[in-house]
Structures are given as structure tokens and as C-alpha cells.
């Protein structure tokens, strides 16, 4: 083969390899709301009007922030009167659901609307119009993603693989993530687990955002929220308070993308126990 022909062949092969690598590295379409995703952090005291606050609380709480995610989920966080800890986990205190964005107007299902001014800086004026309270114009800091990643989206939990080691070693795959079934599996294999987990209770979805928020939504519509950092295939995360998450899981996870799925593997380390292991969530993107 002539040198020029060899060079042409090598360039063509390189182009094919680069094309395959790019295709494998970007397995997912850009989430629909990626351009609108941000954190809205009010400045000063702002009243929150939430239709989901408990009936025993007559006064609305303070609005601490609204997270608009790449996949069209929003999470509202507020502090109720007399409380000293923000409410994240209970659906009664946090509003979540899909939002639509048209220009500067955001319609948040079940809550109301947000309308931004024309300001182009990270600090803007926002008109907040809850469905069950007076409209307010607030000054807020807007945080947006500084980089992109395949992780930044909402994921359904398709399957869960649990592996335990200790008195016995066992592993099993579960459809979705049903905590009742997992607890029964652990007990059958001589490992400690709560015996009062309600049937059907489990983890429904996981969301990672470009503003480094992580959100776990459960089958009873409660949620846990925290922060994470991503470095290569490693994730470090921490919850916003100590009532969230799972005490037996470490705060490190490994990520792998395979055949249109995201595999999220977290090691388990139960204190004061001989049991250890891992939990792998098989996740599919929520379109």
C-alpha cells in the first residue's frame, strides 16, 4: 500500500473510532428542560404558599429555594413556622412535579407560576404567583449548571441488585427498588433488616442536577435531597440533614453507562455489624 493510501486509510479509521467513542460516550439525548434548569435562591424573608402544608399549620412557611431540574422536575423547599430545620422529605411540605417553561414564564404544576425579569445577571427579580396565596416579587440568586454531563437528569429505578456478605453471602436482583422485598431477602439470608417495612414502599426515581443537587423520590411521594460532586466515574454525596438517605450506605458511589442504562453502585457498611455488601441501581432516563 502506498504511503498516501496508508495515510488516508489511517485517517478514515481514526474518524470511525472517534465517531464510535463519541456515540458510546453520549448515549442519551439532551433532557428537554436542560436550558431552563437552575436553582432559585430567594434573598431575605419570603413567604411560601404551599397547598401541601399540613392542615394543622395555619400559616405558610418561608420559601428557601426552588430547584428546576433538567428533566422537568421541580422541588420547592420551605421552613414551617416554629421549625428550625428545612423540610425536604415530606410531600406535605415540598411541592414537586413537572414544570413547563415558555420564555420567562414558568408554570409549576400544583404550585403556581414564576416569571423572571429581563435581567441577564445571576441575581434577578422573580414574580412568584402561588395558586393559593398572594403574588410576590422577590429578589433571587439564580444558579445554573457550569458544565454538562449524562448524569444530569432524572432516572427511573428499573432494577436493584443487592449483595451482602457476613454470616452468609448472597445476592439477588429486584424489579424496581422495593424495600419490603429487600428486607425479606436479607432476613431469609440471616442478615439484620427492619421487619416493619410497608409492602410496596421503595425508591422510585433518582435525579442528579447540573447545580449538584441529588434527589431521591420514594413511592409514597416523599423525597430526600442533598448535594453531590462528580469526578470521572465517582460520585460523592451528602444529604441536607441526618434524617435522609440510608445509614448503611456509604457516601461514595460508582457510575457506569451501559446499553442505554446507568449503573449506580453504592457500597454498604453497617456499623456494629459483620454485614457488608453493595447495592447497584439500574437506572433508565426519564424522557
Count CB-CB contacts under 10 A for residue 80.
Answer: 19
Q: Among 86-95, 100-109, 214-223, 265-274, whose mean pLDDT is lowest? A: 86-95
pLDDT, tens digit, for every residue of 236-245?
A: 999 888 878 7
Domain ranges for the chain, please list them: 38-143, 153-285
Higher per-residue confidence, 206 vs 124:
206
Do the domains spanning 38-143 and 153-285 agree at the CATH topology level? yes
Work out the percent of the chain whose per-residue pLDDT is above 70: 75
Class of domain 153-285: mainly beta
> What is the Cα Rg of the chain in Å?
22
**pTM of the full structure:** 0.81
Angle at the Cα of 121 (from 117 to 122), degrees rounded to 5?
A: 100
CATH number for the 38-143 domain, one of 2.40.128, 3.30.590, 2.60.120, 3.30.420? 2.40.128
Amino acid at each position: 500500500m502506498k504511503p498516501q493510501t496508508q495515510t488516508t486509510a489511517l485517517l478514515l479509521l481514526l474518524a470511525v473510532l472517534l465517531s464510535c467513542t463519541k456515540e458510546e460516550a453520549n448515549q442519551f439525548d439532551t433532557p428537554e428542560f436542560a436550558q431552563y434548569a437552575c436553582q432559585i435562591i430567594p434573598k431575605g424573608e419570603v413567604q411560601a404558599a404551599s397547598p401541601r402544608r399540613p392542615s394543622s399549620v395555619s400559616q405558610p412557611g418561608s420559601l428557601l429555594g426552588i430547584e428546576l431540574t433538567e428533566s422537568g422536575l421541580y422541588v420547592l423547599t420551605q421552613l414551617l413556622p416554629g421549625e428550625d430545620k428545612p423540610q425536604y422529605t415530606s410531600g406535605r411540605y415540598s411541592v414537586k412535579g413537572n414544570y413547563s417553561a415558555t420564555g420567562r414564564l414558568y408554570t409549576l404544576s400544583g404550585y403556581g407560576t414564576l416569571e423572571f425579569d429581563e435581567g441577564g445577571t445571576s441575581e434577578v427579580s422573580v414574580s412568584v404567583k402561588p395558586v393559593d396565596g398572594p403574588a410576590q416579587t422577590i429578589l433571587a440568586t439564580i444558579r445554573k449548571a457550569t458544565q454538562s454531563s449524562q448524569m444530569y437528569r432524572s432516572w427511573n429505578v428499573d432494577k436493584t441488585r443487592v449483595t451482602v456478605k457476613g454470616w452468609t453471602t448472597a445476592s439477588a436482583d429486584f424489579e424496581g427498588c422495593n424495600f419490603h422485598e429487600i428486607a425479606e431477602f436479607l432476613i431469609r439470608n440471616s442478615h439484620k433488616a427492619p421487619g416493619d417495612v410497608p409492602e410496596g414502599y421503595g425508591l422510585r426515581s433518582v435525579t442528579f442536577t447540573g447545580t449538584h443537587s441529588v434527589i431521591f423520590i420514594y413511592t409514597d411521594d416523599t423525597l430526600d435531597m442533598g448535594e453531590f460532586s462528580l469526578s470521572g466515574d465517582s460520585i460523592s454525596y451528602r444529604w441536607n440533614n441526618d434524617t435522609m438517605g440510608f445509614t448503611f450506605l456509604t457516601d461514595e458511589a460508582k457510575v457506569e453507562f451501559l446499553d442505554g442504562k446507568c449503573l449506580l453502585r453504592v457500597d454498604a457498611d453497617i456499623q456494629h455489624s459483620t454485614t457488608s455488601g453493595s447495592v447497584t441501581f439500574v437506572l433508565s432516563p426519564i424522557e
